[in-house]
Structure 1
Amino acid sequence: MSYMALYRKWRPVSFEDVKGQDPVVQTLKNQITSDRIGHAYLFCGTRGTGKTSIAKIYARAVNCEHPIDGSPCNQCASCRAILEGSSMNVVEIDAASNNGVENIRDIREQVQYPPTEGKYRVYIIDEVHMLSVGAFNALLKTLEEPPAYVIFILATTEVHKIPITILSRCQRYDFKRISLETIADRLRELTQAEQIQAEDKALMYIAKAADGSLRDGLSLLDQCVAFHYGKLLTYENALEVLGAVDSSVFSRMFNAVADGRTRDCITELEEIVIQGRELGQFVTDFIWYLRNLLLVQSADDPEGLVDLSEENLKQLKADAVKTDGNTLMRYIRVFSDLSSQLRYASQKRVLLEVALIRLTHPAMEPDLDSVLQRIHQLEEQLEDIEARGISVGQGTYGAAGSMAAFGTCGLPGQPSAGSDPAGSLQQPPSGDSGQTSAGISMGSAAEIISLPKAQLEDLNLIRNEWAKIVRNIGGGARSYLRDTVVEPGGEGCLTIVFLDPMSYDMGKRPTVIGELERKVEAAYGKSIYFKTRLAGRGERLDTIYVTKEDLEEKIHMDITYED
């Protein structure tokens, strides 16, 4: 006997064998056991999810002489005849090749005759959306009022092409995509039954590549086994046969894109091409990788949303802090547009190279997403300048008097206090009105407030390191804390002042503040807790904090302190 493909050999023959469509199966079984059988059904859903298989099982079940809990026994004469394809009671029609009015007229003539054996004549019309307008119109009357012994089962992958007049005459059942775990479990069962040796990782990848279609999963497994017949099917074998790449390649490619290393991106792509990988599959998998990065960055508990091993999830979290959500969405948009272009392109590699160059050079695109990424890159460069104490504008600021001295992250116009008390009285040079010998503007002098020495040390430490702390915190919290100012909040406490109401609503959450406190304690060995508030309209945030001694030393005059 000639070889039979796995998806044909293991097609379900009873409702119990159907995987991943429990609501549909249970409803149909209940109709049979309660003898409430309809006259017209519409099965719609993506390919390979069991529409035709369930239609054939249902056709046997309604004619079965000894049904078992709504399922066909597959042993009686009627069931065997239908399984062998010799029964006149079940007619399967391919609407793609029989889509004319004359084909429907033939059906209308046939339904006039009752079945010679069994209870029902069942017509299964596959890909029914391919019928012409005239054929649909010819089917209407028969579909609405068929003889009591006739059942129509219509199956389609494009339900939006079905006329509303047909939809209103049918019981509609939507077949959902089969989950990754269900497909993987089914592949494990079949490999054991077929005595095929395969790594679990390879089966998981095949299940993922099936994209919710169990039939596609069986076909891909058949393909991989045929290529490596008689050997252990490994993960690398599956990648080789399917033209895919290992997940580590996506990490290297993403890091090169995030760092703007165009040459490394092209070199990595060259390696993929040399290995003979399918570029369309690479683009699809890379979009999925970016989607996982976005989920890890946005969700507090991504483990339940991202189906990856612990090792891969750890690498994903490390990559997620390299950029922000807006940039990731831009990457996904560019590659999604590329995916649709590759379908009909003759020069796929050129299009992919152009897409990578666009990602690493946002200045090449005029859209809002690229502008936001360019602003983000400028902010990071400014933060690096502030951290190193490089000269900015008209004056040179060291670690004590940098533009980040007031704890502002990402706002170029906000000065900040330094680590040494003497320097904290100095302001960056500006074009405003004249200044006193202490360096304080006479036109709009900043308020000077004295603090206990311990509180001032904590404040100066966090302010000087604020840009670094925010960069390291990663995820969505990084964007919430970017436009903030740090000010005293009491003994062992600091207050984060938010300038944007939306950032305040997200940044004040206990999860964000808790993570910030843990980062500070781990990095600097200080147990500081943080409060939050929203800056008022027109509020000045350039207050200078010093100790009592430093204030008296700089001002050179006696100061009276009120209790």
Structure 2
Amino acid sequence: MSYLALARKWRPRRFEDVRGQNHVVKALQHALERDRLHPAILLTGTRGVGKTTLARIIAKGLNCETGVTAQPCGVCSACKEINDGRFVDLLEIDAASNTGVDDVRQLIDNAQYSPARGRYKVYLVDEVHMLSKSAFNALLKTLEEPPSHVKFILATTDPQKLPITVLSRCLQFNLKRLPQNLIRDNLSDILKEEGMEFELAGVGELARAADGSMRDGLSLLDQAIAFAGGLGIKREGVEEMLGTVGRRTLFEILDALGRGDGQALLDGIHKLDESAPDHAALLNDLAAALQRIAVLQLLPKAGDEDDEPALEPLARSIAPEDIQVWYQIAVLGRRDLPWAPDPRLGFEMTLLRMLAFRPDGAAPAAGAPPAAAAGGRTQSAPGTPPAPGRAAAAPAAAPKLAAAAPVAPAPVAAAAPITVAPATPPPPARPAAPPRAAVNSDDPWALRIEAIGLDGMTRQLARHCAWVGESNGTVHLALEARTKHLLNEERRLAIQRALSAQTGSEISLNIEVGGATDLLSPAAADDKRVIERQRAAEAAIEGDPEVLAFKEAFGATVRPGSVQPVDGK
């Protein structure tokens, strides 16, 4: 007798054997128990999660000789023939091979005839999204009002491609991707039944590689059994078979990065080269490991048995802000890998970026390269805010940054400060009051507002007023019409009292809304300066030689709104 693949041998025969799809199983069981199964059912989900399996169990429940039931006996001739794939009234149709309207018309014509053996004639249409538009249209009427002895079970991995007219005629069930621990436990149970020795860590590697598909996990288990040659499923053998030996070396590389040990980092890269790895997959694994480390750092109780033992010590030894920056670098490095001269060089450059770049103000790790240890220049990762209380050194000349993908993922600045990593952390700073807008020293009214110590909405009213003049003990101000809502008697009197206290004599204040439109208030002057600085920043980027070179070479563009002027420039 020929060998039967594990995916077929261990296919669930009853609803109770289906794992990870309880939300679907419960609904189908209740429908069968009450003989109220919808005439058209749509099962959706990725490959290997149980669509065909559920369809066959439904067919058994409908045609079992004990009657319509959610618990088919499995021993009657109908159940056995469905298990063997030879039941005449279960018609499995591959829509990828029968896409045309003629195929559907033949199906419709045959549906009119009563079942040959069973109680119901069940049509299982796999990959139904592959049908042509005319085929779907031909099927609509039969789907909506099928003969009483016909049930349609449609299965697809891509429900978005189905016409809404088809979706509205079906009862839709979405099957979930299976979690790694569930696949691992199922593979372990099967190995026990098969009487084979195994390491749980090796089975876990198979479950991880299955990527949510039980059928893929069983196929990989078949391959691992053949690879082991009867010696049992070991982690080393599974990693060698899958080409994932380098995953453990990644933890050594992360440890070297945490210590700032460049030589150990290069040793790890060379060790990876010995197994000719898939560098794109390594970057994916690296990003996944960094994500789990971040979870363990911020939510220590969120760890589970599937976590690698090496993650916990790394979570304790590496600063959380470094993990956040490295994750961003890993994800962007994976995105930019096709643009690298060679995948290996792109992978190595990603790791070197992790070694070189740290968040603003972060002290270098022990054993860091000389540039960092001696106060060398490091630039914060894109989107990482500077640490509170740390000042950035102003550069002599602004660094030039590329503006567009695939080279630079972050918003482009006209001028960004290069932070200098201090040899020792500075003492903690006192909490500072919220910053105010810079005062225009050329505007006497703006200076006077600061001098009289106004605050809150009263200060906002004064800043939106322009100085008109002073005569006979009366100060005249003109308020912008768009901010007239700021004016009320209480605030006017507050400004009047502050001016009187400053001069030592009684002063009357008159505020005219919309008057002297040719004069600029301090607030309007600030707005004008901001607009001018923004335009200057955008012009600087657009005229930058390196930006122009990227535009010419890659067709890059500066993302609108990504250019921001540097404060104080």
Tell me, in whole angstroms, the C-alpha distance in 1 between the residues paired with 2:365 and 2:354. 21
* Deviation, structure 1 residue 316: 3.3
Q: How does 1:297-376 map to 2 (within 5 A)?
A: 297-299=297-299, 301-303=301-303, 307-308=306-307, 311-321=309-319, 323-324=321-322, 326-337=324-335, 341=338, 347-361=342-356, 373=358, 376=359
Change over 3 Å in CA distance of 1:101–1:238 after alignment to 2:
same
Match in the other structure for 2:207: 207
One-letter identity of the residue aligned with 1:410: R
Match in the other structure for 1:47: 47
Change over 3 Å in CA distance of 1:138–1:378 after alignment to 2:
same
For structure 1, the residue ranges without an aligned partner over 5 or more in a row are 363-372, 385-389, 393-406, 414-466, 472-481, 487-496, 502-535, 538-563
Tell me, in whole angstroms, the C-alpha distance in 2 between the residues paired with 1:285 and 1:227. 24
Tell me, in whole angstroms, the C-alpha distance in 2 between the residues paired with 1:202 and 1:498. 55
Cα deviation code 1:238-291 (max 9, x no counterpart): 111111036542222224456666665454233223124343432332221121
Which stretch shifts more, 201-210 or 324-333?
Answer: 324-333
Asked whether the 8 Å contact 2:257–2:355 carries over to 1, the reply is: yes
One-letter identity of the residue aligned with 2:224: C
* Deviation, structure 1 residue 331: 2.5
Structure 1 residue 82 corresponds to structure 2 residue 82: yes
Q: How does 1:150-189 map to 2 (within 5 A)?
A: 150-189=150-189
Asked whether the 8 Å contact 2:333–2:346 carries over to 1, the reply is: no
TM-score relative to the length of structure 1: 0.62
Asked whether the 8 Å contact 1:224–1:238 carries over to 2, the reply is: yes
One-letter identity of the residue aligned with 2:218: L
Cα deviation code 1:467-498 (max 9, x no counterpart): 98xx9xxxxxxxxxx99636xxxxxxxxxx48
One-letter identity of the residue aligned with 2:87: S
Tell me, in whole angstroms, the C-alpha distance in 2 between the residues paired with 1:308 and 1:224. 22
Tell me, in whole angstroms, the C-alpha distance in 1 between the residues paired with 2:322 and 2:296. 11
How many pairs are equivalent? 393
Tell me, in whole angstroms, the C-alpha distance in 2 between the residues paired with 1:330 and 1:271. 24
- SS of 2:86's partner is coil
One-letter identity of the residue aligned with 2:238: A
Asked whether the 8 Å contact 2:246–2:275 carries over to 1, the reply is: no
Structure 1 residue 35 corresponds to structure 2 residue 18: no
Q: How does 1:102-501 map to 2 (within 5 A)?
A: 102-245=102-245, 247-257=247-257, 265-299=265-299, 301-303=301-303, 307-308=306-307, 311-321=309-319, 323-324=321-322, 326-337=324-335, 341=338, 347-361=342-356, 373=358, 376-377=359-360, 379-380=362-363, 410-411=390-391, 485=429, 497=431
Cα deviation code 1:113-153 (max 9, x no counterpart): 11122211111111112222222222222211111111111
- SS of 2:303's partner is helix
One-letter identity of the residue aligned with 2:19: K
Percent identical across equivalent pairs? 36
Match in the other structure for 1:70: 70
* Deviation, structure 1 residue 325: 5.4
Tell me, in whole angstroms, the C-alpha distance in 2 between the residues paired with 1:312 and 1:484. 34
Cα deviation code 1:45-86 (max 9, x no counterpart): 111111111111111111111259612212112222322333
Cα deviation code 1:6-59 (max 9, x no counterpart): 111111111121111112111111111111111111111111111111111111
Tell me, in whole angstroms, the C-alpha distance in 2 between the residues paired with 1:160 and 1:259. 48
Match in the other structure for 2:489: none
CA RMSD of aligned residues (A): 3.6
TM-score relative to the length of structure 2: 0.62
- SS of 1:122's partner is strand
One-letter identity of the residue aligned with 2:363: E
Tell me, in whole angstroms, the C-alpha distance in 2 between the residues paired with 1:164 and 1:484. 62
* Deviation, structure 1 residue 409: 5.1
Tell me, in whole angstroms, the C-alpha distance in 2 between the residues paired with 1:22 and 1:41. 17
Asked whether the 8 Å contact 1:483–1:498 carries over to 2, the reply is: no
For structure 2, the residue ranges without an aligned partner over 5 or more in a row are 368-372, 376-386, 394-422, 436-454, 457-569
Change over 3 Å in CA distance of 1:88–1:258 after alignment to 2:
same
Tell me, in whole angstroms, the C-alpha distance in 2 between the residues paired with 1:128 and 1:108. 15
Change over 3 Å in CA distance of 1:229–1:412 after alignment to 2:
same
Change over 3 Å in CA distance of 1:50–1:88 after alignment to 2:
same
- SS of 1:178's partner is coil
Asked whether the 8 Å contact 1:409–1:483 carries over to 2, the reply is: no
Change over 3 Å in CA distance of 1:307–1:7 after alignment to 2:
same
Which stretch shifts more, 312-321 or 180-189?
Answer: 312-321
Tell me, in whole angstroms, the C-alpha distance in 2 between the residues paired with 1:484 and 1:142. 76
Asked whether the 8 Å contact 1:338–1:352 carries over to 2, the reply is: no
Tell me, in whole angstroms, the C-alpha distance in 2 between the residues paired with 1:267 and 1:139. 63
- SS of 1:316's partner is helix
Asked whether the 8 Å contact 1:243–1:281 carries over to 2, the reply is: no
